[in-house]
Amino acid sequence: MSLEKASISWSAKQLKNMIANGKIDFNHIIQRSYVWERKRKSALIESMIIGYPIPPVFAKRFDDGTGKRGGNIYCIMDGKQRLSTVAQFLNDEFALTKLPPVVYMDEAFGGECETDITGMKFSELPEAIQDHLNSVIFSVTYFDNLTKEEERELFKRLNAGKPLSTKSRLLASCSDIEGLLDIGSHELFDDMLTDKGKDNKNQVTLVMKAWCMMNKPIEEVSFEGKDFNPLFENASISADERLALDKVFALIHDTHLTLAENKEKAVAKKLYTETHMISLVPFFAQAVERGIEANMMADWVSDFFGSHSEEYDIAAGNGSAKNSNITTRHNVLSESFEQFFTEV
């Protein structure tokens, strides 16, 4: 069965307006977070001025739910950097880097003109070049009614041969990326991750690692790519497992708030460091089961990191993803956790 697809053309000015009106969506689940540097953006604008062909754009089309005619949104699957660069330039958001002088047609002067466009923003270009840029046509192929499997396969094929990061390839192959992103929308990750981290979708690997720490025997847990990636690709988290994760994430978040309120900034920062947070997950899970509250967990975390266990610190350094180091950290934490909560 063939995919449902069609083609459409947008002028640069039209796509700028569509982006402003929310008709073009760049937040595809598996979209690469890499952003072009200004030199590459400038090269695209130069190509448009000179008249070099621009590669086609590929998108998934869906209804915006308004019921209005033309109420479609195009989710970009390939071409994000091209479209966003054009919109940014037309909105005067960056100036061109050093470029050779360009030759263009200017009817007001009756023929060809040459000008140096280095350092110019869109509004500073000759009017004839502005008009030309606004009218450059982008060819768009869009797909309707894609299944999740078709969407993942299409993304992989569109990006074949492109410099996708390991993370992007992993996201593209995950069987339940939507589910992991949904779990990863917890406020813990809003606080823990930077905007760049969230854009890179680091929350989904954190969710999967937390799941491993709560549901697999510790002697089987490894975050090395050869072990973790196949598990991530076949991710399947049940409703009960999700509920358990949500409770653990909530307790970690509340513990972090308590540490911050107690002005223990260094310990709070450690809690939100990936290696430490993931290592602590099983003990926050135990705390949830035993009804231990955030203030007590904050006391334990503070006590543990204040004791500076050399064995733990070594296992949290180089090679922290290896099972041997994960197991070492777990055993050290387990002894500390049981001793602390036996005494109190």
Q: In what order do the strands lie in the sheet with 24-25?
A: 4-11, 137-144, 57-63, 72-78, 24-25
Number of structural domains the chain divides into: 2
Report the phi/psi class of residue 319: left, alpha or beta, with left for phi > 0 and alpha for psi in -120 to 50.
left
Establish if 230 belongs to a structural domain.
yes
Q: Which residues contact 239 (CB under 8 A, 6 or more apart)?
A: none
Structural domain that includes position 316: 174-343
- The verdict on 242 and 309 lying in the same domain is yes
- The verdict on 184 and 224 lying in the same domain is yes
Residue 179 and residue 237 in contact, taking contact as beta carbons nearer than 8 Å: yes
Establish if 59 belongs to a structural domain.
yes
- The verdict on 290 and 334 lying in the same domain is yes
Establish if 116 belongs to a structural domain.
yes
Establish if 165 belongs to a structural domain.
no
Establish if 10 belongs to a structural domain.
yes
- The verdict on 178 and 148 lying in the same domain is no
Establish if 163 belongs to a structural domain.
no
- The verdict on 92 and 150 lying in the same domain is yes
Each residue's pLDDT tens digit in the chain (344 positions)? Answer: 588 889 999 999 999 999 999 999 887 766 555 578 999 999 999 999 999 999 999 999 988 766 566 678 999 988 999 999 999 999 999 999 999 998 888 777 667 888 999 999 999 999 999 999 999 999 999 999 888 778 777 877 776 655 556 666 677 667 777 788 899 999 999 999 998 888 788 999 999 999 999 999 999 999 999 999 999 888 889 999 999 999 999 999 999 999 999 999 999 999 999 999 999 999 999 999 999 999 999 999 999 999 878 999 999 999 999 999 999 999 999 999 999 998 66
Residue at which a domain ends, from 92, 127, 158: 158
- CA quadruple 274, 275, 280, 282: dihedral, nearest 10: 100
**Ramachandran angles phi, psi of 221, nearest 5°:** -85, 125
Residue at which a domain ends, from 158, 190, 220: 158
- The verdict on 151 and 186 lying in the same domain is no
- The verdict on 209 and 335 lying in the same domain is yes
What's the confidence (pLDDT) of residue 169? 65
- The verdict on 11 and 73 lying in the same domain is yes
Establish if 164 belongs to a structural domain.
no
Q: How far apart are CA 79 and CA 153, in angstroms?
A: 17
- The verdict on 140 and 243 lying in the same domain is no
- The verdict on 109 and 195 lying in the same domain is no
Please report the DSSP string for 83-149 in residue order.
HHHHHHHHTT-----S---EEEEEGGGTEEEEE--TT--GGGS-HHHHHHHHH-EEEEEEEES--HH
- The verdict on 183 and 145 lying in the same domain is no
HSE toward the beta carbon, residue 295, CA cutoff 13 A = 3
Residue at which a domain ends, from 98, 124, 158: 158
Residues in the chain: 344
- The verdict on 302 and 236 lying in the same domain is yes
Establish if 252 belongs to a structural domain.
yes
